[in-house]
Amino acid sequence: MRTINRLLVANRGEIARRVFRTCRDLGVETVAVFSDVDADAPHVTEADQAVRLGGPRSYLDADAIVEAARTAGADAVHPGYGFLSENAEFARAVLDAGLIWVGPPPEAVAAMGAKVEAKTLLAAAGVPVLPTYDLDDLDDLDDLDDLDDDDARPPLPLLVKASAGGGGRGMRIVRAAAELPEAVASARREALAAFGDGTVFAEPLLEHARHIEVQILADAHGTVWALGERECSVQRRHQKIVEESPSPAVTPELRRELCDAAVRAAQAIGYVGAGTVEFLVKDDVVAFLEMNTRLQVEHPVTEYVYGVDLVRLQVEIAEGAPLPGLPPSPVGHAIEARLCAEDPANGWRPQAGVLHRFEVPGVDAEFRAAGTLRLDSGVAGGATVTPHYDPMLAKVIAYAPTRAGAARRLATALARARLHGPVTNRDLLVNVLRHPAFLSGETDTGFLDRHAAAVSAPRAGADAVRISALAAALAGAAANRAAARVLGELPSGWRNVVSQPQRTAFALPGEPGERVEIAYLITRDGLSAEGFDGVELVSATPGEVVLSVSGVRRAFAVHARPGVTYVDSVLGAVRLAPLERLPEPARQVEPGSLLAPMPGTVLRVAVEPGDRVAAGQPVVVLEAMKMEHQIVSPGAGVVAALDAVAGRQVEAGAVLAVIEEHADDNADDNVGTQ
């Protein structure tokens, strides 16, 4: 057996910190690698040593990472997930350098890395698979009917998929033949950006199936464990956002079938280490989806239910140790939610910016399997979320004896979290976890589409926004009074005519044109606020306002920063932008301007100045966080100005184009109204 004394994690963020956590328990020294934009990231500061790689994409530089391991004196490399984790050449380079590879043999990685060949191999081993279609001869066709061979003609709907990598990158649904060329081209670009390999293929789209995966562990002595299943059906853009173990729909018989198939898959390729075999399950159909030759993002739910540390087992297997006897039995239920910097109400667009506050109450920072609430985070308060990487900020995982208990615990923890900075999907996650269909186990890959209206609604409704704005105004006044006492000045907002109310206005970021106006007086008789009958002021400080609403007291935590105020309460989190009474003209944006929703690179400009455009027509395509994002025209009009240039970097808020409404474009709207 070889001993690992110093381990380098060839990754960043949450997974690097996760591996370091186990290394501390094992007494293994740690080495981080980092790009220039990650120089101050938590995974860098937590490692015993850290080595700079270079630019944002340098996590894909295999030679630089191997050299970093040599420079730091590491004797092993853990790939994490994403980046080079499923790159067989990288695994070989690590081994050729005399280092221990904490992962499966390069041959096994290669066998599963090309998904078409992998499906052929596993089908021969008795694993059920869907048919695949080679797209090399299809992407230039305008119509699938041009194919003479019926067997070669893919059925519609079709799913275009990246051959390398995973995580939903490089996947496109094709429902009409004319959509295929652009779907293939777009999937290839995204796969190349994410994995360095633009190879794609297609298979039939099995709609409304459950996405079920089996965790496997195999040692070098012939033992293979199947640690039950995880359900990962709640997805957006083919990417998982809620995962759980066990699945509410898997029977003991189906569990045996899935686990047996997963073990056969591992044995067929001589697998060693931790991996995941993924399936689609619909009615009586069970079909192999892919095999991930690495640790999965959702591995914590298995760790909770089976009482194991999968990273510890990875390290021990890499050192040559056998698995300890029979696999443990499952106990209880665990659910994981992926907290991402993205806006579900705006096409799931990734967000970037400073994360001013990041607090999830009740989590065990140094998790143990017996805990009940766990946070695996790649960020901390004060961090900057950049557009260069995946938008996932953290995973919050809850464990309980029952599924209902785990869902309740997780939803409450997310609802109480204080997340100040870029928009996140927190409200959507809470709504999913509390939705009756989720609680009854009615989950499949179409869950979000079916329940979009219910789960996408902000938790703070219109009334909650208004009373949160009142709390923000009162906290602001308290801050002004406190500052005035220190400086010996009149507080801001002081009035000669004391009978006139204080007036404050807020905009709602992300909702153009929406504003909330607050007018109030505080007299000897207490608070008098226009439109707030039955509301009494209990106390007000710059950081907290307590209001009694119809006899019910509620505390509102207020965190004011330049240009934005965050209000957290049991009613939901609210973000407000204080409005200036007399804004400077130079700050005004021309009507019809299309703004960059996040920093990124202009991939393609789809229009020319003077072009007529329809509502929803793509104008510019941006690349940010390894994904493509279409910026579309909000209405019919004419391209009056075009500032976007392919290849140019743009900041959030940059004007990309100006769409000018044209009288002719609305002519049909008046037909028949006389």
Taking residue 437's Cβ as centre, other Cβ atoms within 10 Å add up to 14
Choice between 238 and 450, residue whose per-residue pLDDT is larger: 450
Mean pLDDT check: name the lowest of 209-223, 424-438, 575-589, 633-647.
575-589
Average pLDDT on 311-330 reads 96
Domain ranges of the chain: 6-102, 131-204, 210-456, 462-578, 588-667
Q: What number is the average pLDDT over the span 436-442?
A: 98
Residue 140 has pLDDT above 50, yes or no: no
| pLDDT over 80 at 131, yes or no | yes
Q: What is the pLDDT of residues 153-208, one digit of tens each?
A: 678 889 898 877 666 778 898 988 888 888 898 899 888 877 778 888 888 888 89
What are 643-661's pLDDT values in tens digits? 888 888 787 678 888 898 8
Instruction: Find how far residue 276's CA is from the centre of its chain.
Output: 20
* Arithmetic mean of pLDDT, 273-278: 97
Res. 665: pLDDT tops 80: no
**Rounded (10°) CA dihedral 264, 269, 272, 275:** -70
- pLDDT grade for 482, boundaries at 50, 70 and 90: confident
- Average pLDDT over every residue of 624-636: 79
Reported as a single tens digit per residue, the pLDDT across 288-320 is 988 999 999 999 999 999 999 999 999 999 999
Q: Residue 599: pLDDT above 80? A: no
- Judged by average pLDDT, the poorest of 253-267, 563-577, 596-610 is 596-610
- Helices 426-434 and 403-416: angle between axes, nearest 10 degrees: 150
Please give the residue that has the higher pLDDT: either 363 or 628: 363
Statement: 588-667 belongs to CATH 2.40.50.100: yes
Q: Is the pLDDT of residue 673 over 50?
A: no
| CATH match for 462-578 among 3.40.50, 3.30.700, 2.40.380, 2.40.128 | 3.30.700
Residue 346: pLDDT band (50, 70, 90) is: confident
DSSP state of 598: S
Count, residues in the chain: 674
- 386 CB-side CA count, 13 A: 16
Question: Rounded CA gap, 254 and 233, in Å?
Answer: 17
Mean pLDDT of 619-623: 87
pLDDT single digits (tens) 418-433: 999 999 999 999 999 9
**Region 62-86 average pLDDT:** 97
CATH class of the domain at 131-204: alpha beta
The closest of 194, 4, 7, 241 to 86, measured between CA atoms, is 194
Q: How far apart are CA 66 and CA 8, in angstroms?
A: 9
Q: Using alpha carbons, select from 567, 580, 575, 212 the residue that is nearest to residue 424.
A: 575
pLDDT at residue number 487: 62
What's the pLDDT at 598? Answer: 67
CATH of 6-102, one of 3.40.50.12590, 3.40.50.20, 3.30.360.10, 2.40.110.10: 3.40.50.20
Mean pLDDT lowest among 28-42, 133-147, 362-376, 401-415: 133-147
Q: Which residues of 450-459 are buried (b: 16+ CB within 10 A; e: fewer)?
A: ebeeebeebb
116-130: pLDDT as tens digits: 888 889 999 999 998
pLDDT > 90: percent of the chain = 64
Confidence bin at 670 (pLDDT 50/70/90):
very low
Alpha helices by DSSP H, listed for 488-576, are none
Grade residue 148 by pLDDT with cuts at 50, 70 and 90: very low
Candidates 126, 118, 125, 369; CA nearest to 227 is 369
Q: What average pLDDT does range 392-413 have in this prediction?
A: 96
Q: Is the pLDDT of residue 497 over 70?
A: no
Task: Return the pLDDT at 365.
Answer: 60
Q: How many CB atoms lie within 10 A of CB 73?
A: 12
Mean pLDDT of 104-126: 91
Question: What mean pLDDT is predicted for residues 63-70?
Answer: 98
The amino acid at 90 = F
Check residue 594 and give its pLDDT.
85
Are 371 and 364 contacting, i.e. CB atoms less than 8 angstroms apart? yes
CB-CB contact of 30 with 7 (8 Å): yes
- Report the pLDDT value the prediction gives residue 666, as an integer from 0 to 100: 45
Torsional sign, CA 647, 650, 652, 655: negative
Of 5-14, 27-36, 127-136, 241-250, least confident by mean pLDDT is: 127-136
Say whether pLDDT at 492 is over 60.
no
Alpha helical stretches, state H, 417-505: 426-434, 436-439, 447-450, 452-456, 462-487
- Whether residue 439 is predicted with pLDDT greater than 80 in this model: the reply is yes
632 or 209, greater pLDDT: 209
3-state secondary structure (DSSP) of residue 247: coil
Q: Does domain 210-456 have CATH number 3.90.930.12?
A: no
Q: Label residue 350 left, alpha or beta by phi (over 0 means left) and psi (-120 to 50 means alpha).
A: beta
Sort 614 into a burial class: Cβ within 10 Å, 0-12 / 13-18 / 19+: exposed
- Taking residue 39's Cβ as centre, other Cβ atoms within 10 Å add up to 11
Tens-digit pLDDT profile for residues 221-245: 999 999 999 999 999 988 999 999 9
Higher pLDDT, 105 or 562: 105
CA-atom Rg of the chain in angstroms: 27
Token pair 């999968």 is found at 310
Query: 255: Cβ–Cβ under 8 A, 6 or more apart, which residues?
Result: 228, 229, 246
The reported pLDDT for the residue numbered 20 is: 97
Q: For the residues 65-87, what does the mean pLDDT come to?
A: 97
